[in-house]
Amino acid sequence: MKSKSVSFKIAVLFLTFTAVFTLFRSSMSGIFSLFYAKNGIPNANISSIKSFQNIGIMLGFLPAGY
């Protein structure tokens, strides 16, 4: 029974961190988009920048799998 309780706490903690970091990443992406647009960077370039940011994030996750 205790093992199930610990597993549940770990799952809730994981979901909480996932939600917080997802909201943080989304809000930072929006803030950077506004910053880029305000400084005269075209929308097509903003999309490219965001794509490279996403690729960087995914590459950063690779060591977590080992």
A 10 A CB-CB count for 61 gives 9
Enter the pTM of the model. Answer: 0.55
pLDDT over 80 at 10, yes or no: yes
Please tell me the predicted confidence (pLDDT) of residue 65: 64
52 pLDDT band, cuts 50/70/90, is: confident
What letter does residue 66 receive in the DSSP assignment? -
Query: In Å, how far are 15, 21, 56, 62 from 66, measured between CA atoms?
Result: 21, 21, 17, 7
